[in-house]
Amino acid sequence: MTLRHSRIVATAALAAVTALALAACSSGGSAEPSSSASAPAAAGTESAFPVTVEGMYGDVTVASEPQRVVTLGSREHELLYALGVAPVAIPISWQGYEYGTGPWAEADRVAAGAEPELFDATTIDAETIAAFEPDLIVGTYTNITQEEYDLLSGIAPVIVRGAQYDPWGMPLDAELTLIGEATGTSGPAQEAIAEIDDAFASARAAHPDWEGKTGVVGFYYEGNPGVYLSSDNRNQFLANLGLDVTALDEYADSSFVTISSEKLDLLDTDLVIWQSATTPDVRATIEGLPLFDSIGVTQKGGNLWIEDTVLEGAFFANSPSSILYSLDALLPGLEAALDGDPGSDVPVFSDPSA
C-alpha cells in the first residue's frame, strides 16, 4: 500500500457529516442505549471455535464466536472496527467523541455497523460490565490487575496483553493477532497488519536517511517536560520508520520519564515530537525554558509540534486507521525536522475537518 493523502480528505468529509462531540476529557456519563446493542459481531468462521489464546494471567478459551463484545481500554474498539466487529459497549472517549471514536476511525466504525453504548471505565466496575451481557471482554490496552481479571472472568472470557509486554505497550501486530483469534477474524487481522507494514515500509523506503536517527515523543506535565520510552506505542510508531527510540530508556523503568528543566540537555536527539494540543500554551512554555534553545534537538531543528487535537488523539490511539492517518499527517513535519537543517520550517499539521 502507498500512503495516500486521500485518507485524510475522506476522513474529513465523513467527519463533516457525522455528529461528533469533541469535548474535554470525559469523566463519566453514558449514552442512550443504541439500536444495535444486541447486534452480533462481524461474521466469523464458526469452525474456528473453540479457540484458546494466551494472556498475562494464563490461557483463555473462547467457546464460540462472540456476539456481544465489551472493551475496557481506550483503543481496543478501533481495532475491532478494523476487523469488522461491532462491540456493544466501550469506554467513554477521553476526547469526548460520540461512540468513543475519533474521525480517523469513523469509516471503520460505520463499515462495522457499530453504535456501542458508552460507560465510564475510570475504574473497572463488574456490575456495569455484566449489565451489557458480554460473551467476550477485551482489555488488551489496560493495566488490569489479577483481582479485576478474576472478577471479570466470572462474567465472560477476558483477553489481555501478553505477560512479556509493558502496560499499554503491546505492539499493534500482536494485539491485532490476539483479538483476531478471539473473535474469529484472523484473516482481516492479518490483512490489517500487512497494510500497516506496507505503509511503514513505503515511508522508510522514501526516507532511507532516517535509519538510525534518534527520536522520542515528548510531553509537559505538572511543570516539567518528559518523554515516553521505547515501549510506548507512539515511539513504536517512530521505530517503524527506522528511528532509534531508546535514547532515554536508561533513565526510567516505566513507560515515561519526566525531565527537570535543568536536565533538558538529555534531549540530545535528532527528533522530539511534542504533544501539546490538549494544553495550548504548552509549546510556549517549553520553548521558554532557559535551556531549550541550546539543547541538541533544538540545535538540529528537530522539534515537531502536535497542536491539532484530532492528530493528538490519532497518534495516541495506535489503531490501523489512526496509524494511516498519523502517517499522512506527520510525514511533512518529519521530513523537515529530520533534514538536519536547523533553519528548516517544520510545518504544524491542522486537520482539514476542523
Domains along the chain? 6-186 (3.40.50.1980), 207-337 (3.40.50.1980)
Q: What is the arithmetic mean of pLDDT over 128-140?
A: 98
pLDDT band at 277 (very low <50, low <70, confident <90, very high): confident
Q: Which helix (H) or strand (E) holds 90?
A: strand 89-91
Q: What is the pLDDT of residues 66-77, one digit of tens each?
A: 999 999 999 999
pLDDT at 30: 35
- Whether residue 2 is predicted with pLDDT greater than 90 in this model: the reply is no
- Per the CB < 8 A criterion, the answer to whether 349 and 309 are in contact is no
| Mean pLDDT in residue range 270-293 | 92
Q: What is the pLDDT of residue 166?
A: 86
Confidence of residue 5 (pLDDT cuts 50, 70, 90): very low
Scored b (16 or more CB within 10 A) or e, 97-128 reads bbbbbbbbbbbbbeebebbbbbbebeebeeee
Q: Give the tens place of pLDDT for each residue, 7-58.
A: 333 333 333 333 323 233 333 333 333 333 333 444 444 468 999 999 999 9
Measuring CA to CA, how many Å separate 172 from each of 22, 75, 135, 166, 280? Answer: 26, 11, 23, 13, 29
- What is the structure's pLDDT at 223? 87
Q: Do 296 and 267 form a contact (C-beta atoms < 8 A)?
A: yes
The stretch 252-269 carries a mean pLDDT of: 87
What pTM did the predictor assign?
0.84
Percent of the chain surpassing pLDDT 90: 75
DSSP 8-state assignment for residue 229:
-
Buried b (16+ CB within 10 A) or exposed e, 177-190: bbbbbbbbbbebbe
pLDDT for res 1? 37
Q: Give the mean pLDDT of 173-193.
A: 98
Query: Any idea how long the chain is?
Result: 354
- Kindly list the distances between the CA atom of residue 2 and the CA atoms of 93, 117, 141, in Å, as whole numbers in the listed order: 30, 35, 28
Determine the average pLDDT of the residues in 82-101. 93
Contact 301, 341 (CB under 8 A): yes
Share of the chain above pLDDT 70, in %: 86
pLDDT band of residue 335 (cuts 50, 70, 90) is very high
